[in-house]
Structure 1
Amino acid sequence: MYLLRDVDRGDDLLGWTPNAALPEIVGQGRTPLTISEGISWLLQDPSSLEPNRCFMCVGSRKAAARGVDARAPAIWISRGTGRDGQARRDAPKVGWCWAGNNHAWLGFASTSGRD
């Protein structure tokens, strides 16, 4: 067990791609959250996830033969459209986005350290 310090949703990186955001996060002396850390954080502070202010957890990108997998894990709030259906409107979701795509509503969660 460990404690995350100064967790941030990464709103300053809204609209960035995961490929571009990771060097920026590291350059700020921060560490990207893993998907497990992101879920744990939200269980402790559910208000950290808001519509149009959600986040990726690029600390969980899977290693691949040529660096990392093209998928970037993310946590967001669904509007209940498509396969989600109206019954799941405004429900949190865990999934992934392509690392080369940017989304104006997805930041990149990070921490200043782990104790």
Structure 2
Amino acid sequence: MTDFDAGTEFDRQVRTLVDLAYPALAGMTEAAFRGLLEPLREPVLARATAMEPPAEGRVPFLIVVTRALVPLAEAVPLTRLAGRSKPGVIERFYAPGELERFVPLQELALPDGAAYVVFDVERGEEFCGAVPLNALMTVAERNRTPLTIEEGLALVGQYPEALAKNKCFSLAGSRSGDRRVPALWISKGAPKLGWCWEGNPHTWLGMASAGARGQ
């Protein structure tokens, strides 16, 4: 197995967020932003011995910056596809102000605070072609939980290659109280945040999930 250093990866993810201008969008200095994220190093290192290196469609952990720091409308354009330069876009099906009503499910019990870590992340391409509701049942049976919108943006932000043709993914950890399920897919050479119905399968859309979260 390839060597993997969790501390080095943590530093890389912080640097990526800084390079993407997250501090400025959060109204913070770079030093203050780095200081906010630094306590997250401890829970990452506590799990380091059990982590496997990133692989196609799966990563050991992600630093998640929530909308409390950077609004979704500003975070989506920070995403890119691997080797591409076009910024991510929001599907026009979201009416003005509607996206913010898609919030994390209470049962996920997300860590408090404006940033946290999500562990053992899978984009879930095995669920391509499955009905989202059925995929969610399988995810739950495995003691895993669906990713939120912010967690999905973190995945593509840190690992652009995770969003690939016919390997896009739903983010069912964020809902608005109806049958719509947010999802990230590819449109015109860029990531697009849209939604699909919970009962409608798509051959190119899986179900992203996580093993745990921490702060």
Fold shared, TM-score > 0.5 on shorter chain: yes
Superposition misfits of 4+ residues, deviation over 6 angstroms: none
2:177 maps to 1:71: no
Where structure 2 has 5 or more consecutive residues not aligned to the other structure, the ranges are 1-114
Q: Which residue of 1 aligns with 2:116?
A: 2
- Map Cα deviations across residues 61-109 of structure 1 (whole Å, 9 max, x no partner): 222xxxxx1111000001xxxxxxxxxx221100101111000110100
Structure 2 CA distance for aligned equivalents of residues 18 and 58 of structure 1: 8
Write the letter of the residue equivalent to 1:70: R
What does residue 125 of structure 2 align with? 11
Within 5 A, what are the aligned runs for 1:22-101?
22-63=136-177, 69-78=178-187, 89-101=188-200
What secondary structure, in the 3-state scheme, does the structure 1 residue paired with 2:143 have? coil
Q: Secondary structure at the match of 2:122?
A: coil
TM-score (structure 1 length as normaliser): 0.83
Equivalent AA in structure 2 for residue 71 of structure 1: R
TM-score, normalised by the number of residues in structure 2: 0.45
1:110 maps to: 209
Write the distance in 1 (CA, Å) between the matches of 2:127 and 2:166.
13
**Aligned-residue offset at 1:17:** 1.4
CA distance in 2, matches of 1:4, 1:92: 21
C-alpha distance in 1 between matches for 2:212 and 2:192: 26
- Paired residue for 2:135? 21
Q: Which amino acid aligns with 1:104?
A: T
Name the residue aligned to 2:97.
none
| Displacement of 1:20 | 1.1
Structure 1 residue 36: Cα displacement: 1.1
Could you tell me how far 1:13 is from its partner in structure 2?
A: 1.0
Bigger Rg, which one: 2
Q: RMSD of aligned C-alpha atoms?
A: 0.9
Aligned residues: 100
